Amino acid sequence: MRIFKDADEMQRWSMEQRISGNTIGFVPTMGYLHNGHLSLIEEARAECDLVVVSVFVNPAQFGPKEDFGSYPRDARGDLEMCEGAGVAAVFMPTLDAMYAKDASVGVNETSLSLGLCGTSRPGHFRGVCTVVAKLLNIIQPQVMVLGQKDYQQAAVLTRMIRDLNFPVELKIAPIMREPDGLAMSSRNIYLTKEQRSQALAIGAALTKAHDCFYAGESSADEIKRQMRAELQENALDIDYVEIVNGLELRPVQSVEMGNVALIAAFCGKTRLIDNCIL
Ligand code: AMP
């Protein structure tokens, strides 16, 4: 497995692979890899000859009061997992390798990124779009695999790829969960034992939304009320509870199949997100 820290070297390798006729599947991550990331790697392997994983905790997508400094990091563990998963190359750039000190160009998505996480994390999606645009230019994959876990991120990046004509096909992989239903996340490591069991209310609230809808309830207000009650009973601090249409992420009044229920909530200081396509 090749490990690249330099963007030019990574790009040269990718170009050589493409000239040799290999297809590249790409999985962008912030590291501290878990089985959710592995499922994306598997999907990329099924689609392409070679898989490239990037591991980069991108400061541009963190707010000043967020957890960039304390975000969990384990380069050695990540490399072992990638090696075991048959990854061809890992791109692990330093901060300096990714951003020139006087970098002054970025990518702004101006519609889908405004609500939901965009409201509570201003600047987040500009950071995400900019880093993913750079990674696509460096790695030049035919396929990029993202997780449904970050539903809004996947929607925003789908829009960026369409609007800026990136020559890449996007695949969205399902959410991987712990046996008790908690969506896998690198941030779960922050949770105390007590918070870990409180956090189960997020999955439970989404199950409630699903069950409620399939029992015939179509009022978004009523479904959201029940979701909030589940979260509040477990002392979670709600950032948002929303039901949106799948493509434009517009909140709906009357819920239809294919709409998406989304939650962001704080468990102590840890902000967790999860969602369910109804
Ligand atoms: P992250 O390292 O958290 O930035 O995530 C990198 C990629 O892995 C993103 O496309 C996420 O949506 C995806 N991902 C994170 N958690 C999960 C999960 N539990 N199941 C599936 N994909 C996930």
CA of 12 to the centre of ligand 1 (A): 27
61 C-beta closer than 6 A to ligand 1: no
> Nearest residue CA, atom 6 of ligand 1?
29
185 C-beta closer than 6 A to ligand 1: yes
Q: Are 44 and 89 in contact (CB under 8 A)?
A: no
What is the C-alpha to C-alpha distance for residues 72 and 266, in angstroms, rounded to an integer?
A: 17
Residue 183 vs residues 166, 199, 205, 272, 278: alpha-carbon distances, Å: 30, 10, 13, 9, 17
Is 200 contained in some domain?
yes
CA of 27 to the centre of ligand 1 (A): 9
Is 179 contained in some domain?
no
pLDDT of residue 244: 98
pLDDT of residue 253: 98
| pLDDT tens per residue across span 195-254 | 999 999 999 999 999 999 999 999 999 999 999 999 999 999 999 999 999 999 999 999
147 C-beta closer than 6 A to ligand 1: yes
What is the C-alpha to C-alpha distance for residues 197 and 195, in angstroms, rounded to an integer?
A: 5
**Burial class for 254, CB neighbours closer than 10 Å (0-12, 13-18, 19+):** exposed
| pLDDT tens per residue across span 16-28 | 999 999 999 999 9
Is 103 contained in some domain?
yes
Is 181 contained in some domain?
no
| pLDDT tens per residue across span 59-72 | 999 999 999 999 99
CA of 207 to the centre of ligand 1 (A): 20
Is 248 contained in some domain?
yes
Quick check: pTM over 0.75?
yes
Last residue of a domain, one of 173, 207, 241: 173
Do 144 and 191 sit in the same domain of this protein? no
| pLDDT tens per residue across span 127-185 | 999 999 999 999 999 999 999 999 999 999 999 999 999 999 999 999 999 999 999 99
pLDDT of residue 272: 98
Residue 124: active-site member: no
What is the C-alpha to C-alpha distance for residues 267 and 235, in angstroms, rounded to an integer?
A: 8
> Nearest residue CA, atom 7 of ligand 1?
29
Domain of residue 45 covers: 2-173
